[in-house]
Amino acid sequence: MNFAERMARLGTESAFEVLARAKGLERQGKEIIHLEIGEPDFDTPVHILVGAAVHAAWVKHDVAQCGYCQSGQIMSATAFLKSLPRGKQPTAADIDAAMAGNICRCGTYARIRAAVADAAKALA
């Protein structure tokens, strides 16, 4: 495929498709020089997994009201859940202690507690 054809396909060819084709060529004994940054077969970083669980739980429990405190609440929840040993389910007191640095003038504390507990279950 020439350069012009390659440029025309740009955006329709996913990185995974390119990687799969490169792996196929390697299996045929061809040498492939990888220029990507980092290892393409890495596990999803833990902060991404925890952040996704927190996000899903926040939506499920409809936590936010005015939203003013929410970025801090979500950052604290994510840091707390990242710090938990894998599989440990926090108590309500654990969650309250971890989230104590955040004030919510709308009083969403019960929903925050439920969302953090739910995210912990999802991550177990």
Q: Which positions lie near ligand FES, rule CB under 6 A?
A: 64-70, 104-106, 108
Least spacing, CB of residue 69 vs ligand FES, in Å: 3
Which residue lies nearer to ligand FES by CB, 27 or 105?
A: 105
Which residue lies nearer to ligand FES by CB, 25 or 103?
A: 103
Which residue lies nearer to ligand FES by CB, 11 or 101?
A: 101
The one-letter code for the residue type at 66 is C
Token code pair at residue 122: 């999802």
R_g of the chain, CA atoms, integer Å: 22
Which residue lies nearer to ligand FES by CB, 53 or 63?
A: 63
User: How far, in Å, CA of 57 to CA of 102, rounded?
Assistant: 18
Angle between helices 70-83 and 109-123 (to 10 degrees): 40
Question: What distance, in Å, lies between the first and last C-alpha atoms of the chain?
Answer: 47
